[in-house]
Structure 1
Amino acid sequence: MRRPARAARWTASGAAVLAIALAAPGSAAAARADAVNPAPDNGFSATGVWNTPLPANVPLAPNSQAIVANLMQDKQTGGGLWGINTDTYSAPVYSVGPDTPTQQWTYSDCQNLPQLAPVIADSLSAVPTPPGMLVSQGTDESVAIYQPSTDTYWDFWRAQQDASGHWSACWGGKIEHYSANPGIFDNPLGASASGLPLGAYLIRADELRRGHIDHAINFETVRTQANCFSWPATRDDGNTPGPDIACEGQRFRLDPTFNVNTLIDPAARTIARAMQQYGLVLTDKAGALVTQAEDPRPLEPANGGVDPYNKLFDPTGTGIIPESLTHYLVLLGVPLSRLQALPLNYGEPGR
């Protein structure tokens, strides 16, 4: 599946605001204690690629430094920040009950690939579709749905509802026996360009509240290697040739010797620890360097109508940084230069 590169939502403004906030007297950020309660995992197999911690010593790709140097160049190309996408170019995650109405979705074929209609037909059949369901803002229009009673998961790309209430999608997929699945769609299914399920890697707001992420997370970047994907990915939409460009599906980790306690924001510390313990997976292209967290809009009614990330993402603890910037500044202190690229297909069973 080839898909257009996506733009990130943030702009590069705000560095001066951050500098002023960091210097503000009486900041309580550094004094806040990290939560210790473990967060629930993402529901995939506990022994799957997403939920298995990396060993203390892992081999690195021989060109790890060159790959990371290209990621740093992408960061500058995309505005100079490593942002977190939430309500735009990410996805809501719905856990639905057994009585949720089902609907036969339609294949919209936005890419003019009618030969794929039979491939996705089963995934569009009898989809539990909650009333008032939202999809991500931006051209991806993604959504993830999980039904515990049937242990089935769906995610969709370019999901749209027409005036009559009928839903369609340009692509996506279904995973049965979700809790036993390692977190990989059968090729060529899945909303992401790499065929990796959104529900496996999206950061959850509850995980940040609890101070613990028990799975690998993702990132996306401006350039991914053309015609190259690495397990656990099943496909790619790479756009750039060259051996030192990261491949979709390639696994990374944050240097475990980096002291995450030097990060001011508790959310940044939580995310950085997950990068060290479980790693990151390159899942797609984007218009900037970004990591994805679940879309907060379905969570707002239970949160007093407020985006929960407005409180969770505050790199100063002062509350003086505009809400429009916090999503793009929270990872400011995480050193991209200290990412480490693992070899292609690292951890693939049978290798």
Structure 2
Amino acid sequence: MRRNVRAVLAALSLSLILTGGLLSPARSETAPHRPSNGFARSGPWNTKLPRHVPLAENSAAIVANIKQDKDENFQVWAFNTHTWSSPVYTVGRHTPRLRWTFSDCLDLPHLAPVIADTLSSVPTPPGMLVSQGTDNTVAIYQPSTDTYWDFWRAEQDSEGNWSACWGGKIEHYSRNPGIFDNPLGAAATGLPFGAFLIRIEELRRGRIDHALNIQTVRVRANCNSWPANRNDGNTEGADFPCEGQRFRLDPAFDVNTLRSPAARTIARAMQEYGLIMSDKSGSLATQAEDPRPYGGVNPYHLLTDPTNEIPDDDSYTWLTLADIPVERLQALPLDYGRPQS
């Protein structure tokens, strides 16, 4: 998604100046006691919502603006997979470690020391792919060290050297709530892809046990809600969603009315765990892992349309979530669920 990272990182840079082996896509088949995204069970992504939760006083107005974004930008709730999402790799203990470089594509050289540790030793699988679109993102998880990385504007040069314009590293991944230390992380909110991306295996098993993400065109300027720790908001006004704000699909909505089995699985997760505004976007969207690292036939075609009624092209990205009613979303209060200090 094209986002104003320059503004976010420029503000962060000013703050910092003032204050001194085995390659495979990530899998969600984990032990029953561990959430499929691998982050801490007690974190915001893996905490179920009670059926009765307080709503933001202006919930209806916020949701109306999200619906307007849908209506005025392609008239869809996009299901982003192979474009405008991210590949997620799980790598083995012996995956070659490379020193990446800071590309500084935003001309903020004083941020180089901030990201230096993230780039210093990255287990980088041969043949690694980055997302299609202008963001060029990728996520890497190494279970043997319980460490996770994600990168924005990642690029490999002709000699095989890797660089990134921004990103972050999370150590002790399985104990982390799913939040980067500020100002790290590829997303403009400091929220890692590994926490919210829908996985292929989750759709195959018909169960998602974590919150999903939502992105929209207009997000409130200078406003972030926990678990986000920064924002790149672009629109003034209290009736626009804040990045990090939590939403849910009305639990009274009957998900069995949805045609696609994938849509039913996704909608149940939206009711049980909710959605968190992870970034702004060119359209209303929710993201799933990029299937290209798996090779072969794109599995989303069958998972989203087992009756083969959708043409065998990218139409599923526009049609999968089409029947989930945006107007039945509910906005929760800002900082909902934030731990009391």
Whether the aligned pair in 1 keeps the contact of 2:48 and 2:273 (CA below 8 Å) is yes
SS at match of 1:109: coil
Equivalent of 1:247, from 239, 242, 251? 242
Q: Distance in 2 between matches of 1:4 and 1:210?
A: 40
**Residues in 2 aligned to 1:294 and 1:318: alpha-carbon distance in whole angstroms:** 22
Q: Which residue of 2 aligns with 1:46?
A: 41
Q: Secondary structure at the match of 2:188?
A: coil
**Where does residue 77 of structure 2 map in the other structure?**
82
Contact 1:225-1:247 at 8 Å conserved across structures: yes
1:132 aligns with 2:141: no
SS at match of 1:145: strand
Superposed CA offset, 1:257-281 (max 9, x none): 0000111110000000000000000
Question: Tell me, what secondary structure is at the counterpart of 1:121?
Answer: helix
Q: Give the letter aligned to residue 37 of structure 2.
A: N
- Contact 2:45/2:178 (<8 A) preserved: yes
8 A Cα contact 1:71 1:221, kept in partner = yes
Shift of 1:40: 5.7
Question: Which one of 186, 192, 199 corresponds to residue 197 of structure 1?
Answer: 192
What is the Cα deviation at residue 55 of structure 1? 1.2
- Find 1:312's aligned residue among 303, 308, 316: 303
Name the counterpart of 2:280: 285
TM-score by length of 1: 0.87
1:241 Cα deviation after fit: 0.5
Is 1:212 matched up with 2:192? no
CA distance in structure 1 between the aligned counterparts of 2:4 and 2:133, rounded to whole angstroms: 17
Query: Where in structure 2 are the equivalents of 1:112-127 lying within 5 Å?
Result: 112-127=107-122
Q: What is the aligned counterpart of 1:326 among 273, 291, 316?
A: 316
Counterpart amino acid of 1:120?
Answer: I
8 Å contact from structure 2 (residues 302, 308) kept in 1:
no
Q: 1:4 to 1:312 in 2, by over 3 A?
A: farther
- 1:321-340 alpha-carbon deviations (Å, 9 max, x no partner): 34220121011110100000
Evaluate the alpha carbon distance shift between residue 320 and residue 41 of structure 1 in structure 2; reply closer, same or farther with a 3 A threshold: closer
Secondary structure at 2:315 match in 1: helix
For residue 25 of structure 1, what is the aligned residue in structure 2? Answer: none
Q: Does 1:155 align with 2:146?
A: no
2:326 aligned partner:
336
SS at 1:324 equivalent: coil
Q: Is the 8 A contact 2:291 2:299 kept in 1?
A: yes
| Superposed CA offset, 1:170-208 (max 9, x none) | 000000000000000000000001110000000001100
Distance 2:158 2:45 in 1: 38
Q: Which residue of 2 aligns with 1:99?
A: 94
Unpaired runs of 5+ in structure 1? 6-36
2-side partners of 1:323 and 1:50: how far apart?
A: 32
| Separation of aligned partners in 2, 1:202 and 1:154 | 14
Q: Distance in 2 between matches of 1:55 and 1:85?
A: 28
SS of 1:116 mapped into structure 2: helix
Give the Cα separation in 2 of the matches to 1:320 and 1:76: 22
Query: For the residues of structure 1 that align with 2:160 and 2:311, how far apart are their CA atoms?
Result: 39
CA contact (8 A) 2:153 2:164 kept: yes
Aligned residue pairs total 315
Q: Which residue of 2 aligns with 1:270?
A: 265
Identify the match of residue 227 of structure 2 among 212, 232, 246.
Answer: 232
Structure 1 297/4 Cα, relative in aligned 2: closer, same or farther at 3 Å?
farther
Q: Percent identity?
A: 66
Letter of the 2:261 partner, please give it: P
The root-mean-square deviation of aligned C-alpha atoms, in Å, is 1.7
CA contact (8 A) 1:61 1:343 kept: yes
TM-score using structure 2 length: 0.90
Distance 2:98 2:298 in 1: 29
Counterpart position of 1:3: 5
Task: Verify the 8 A CA contact 1:40 1:214 in the aligned structure 2.
Answer: yes
Amino acid of the structure 2 residue aligned with 1:128 = P
Contact 1:238/1:248 (CA < 8 Å) preserved in 2? yes
Partner of 2:14: none
Task: Describe the shift of the 1:4–1:337 C-alpha distance in structure 2 as closer, same or farther (beyond 3 A).
Answer: farther
Matched residue type, 1:343: P
Residues 134, 45 of structure 1: alpha-carbon distance in 2 compared, 3 angstrom cutoff: same
Partner of 2:338: 348
Moved over 2 A (4+): 1-5, 37-40, 318-323
Name whichever of 180-189 and 320-329 sits farther off.
320-329
Q: State how far apart, in whole Å, the 2-side matches of 1:140 and 1:72 are.
A: 25
Structure 2: where are the runs of 5+ without partners? 8-30
Amino acid at match of 2:246: R
Q: Indicate how the Cα distance of structure 1 residues 40 and 59 shifts in structure 2: closer, same or farther if over 3 A, else same.
A: closer
Tell me which of 225, 229, 254 is aligned to 1:259.
254
**Secondary structure at 1:253's aligned position in 2?**
strand
Displacement of 1:320: 4.5
The one-letter amino acid paired with 1:245 is F
CA distance in 2, matches of 1:322, 1:95: 29
Question: What SS does structure 2 have at the residue aligned with 1:42?
Answer: coil
Cα drift, residue 4 of structure 1:
7.5
